[in-house]
Amino acid sequence: MRDEEIKKWWQSQAIIGGIIAVASACAGLVGIVIDTDTQVQLADLFIVMSTAAGGMLAIIGRIKASRKIK
């Protein structure tokens, strides 16, 4: 498998959705109810936040880099 075909686990909507579903089920065990629409919103929020964090890391990495870009 080529590197372009591989993505990090946090870039997978299926994995994020699964984590949120499991967390919602666990929350239900302690009396906190998270409906399906909220789960979808949480998944979308997580994806946006992880994308923004990746962008910020790239910018910070470039600022801290010791070599110039040509």
The 10s digit of each residue's pLDDT in 30-49 is 998 888 898 889 888 888 88
- Nearest to residue 42, comparing CAs of 12, 8, 19? 19
Range of the domain at 59: 9-64
For the segment 14-21, the average pLDDT, to the nearest whole number, is 86
C-alpha distance from residue 57 to each of 18, 25, 32, 48, 54 (Å): 26, 32, 34, 14, 5
Direct distance between the N- and C-terminal alpha carbons of the chain, in angstroms, rounded to an integer: 31
The total domain count for the chain is: 1
- The answer to the question of residue 3 being in a domain is no
Does residue 70 belong to any structural domain of this protein? no
Does the pLDDT of residue 51 top 80, yes or no?
yes
Residue given tokens 């499991």 in the structure block: 22
Q: Do the domain assignments include residue 2?
A: no
Structure tokens at 56: 């910020």
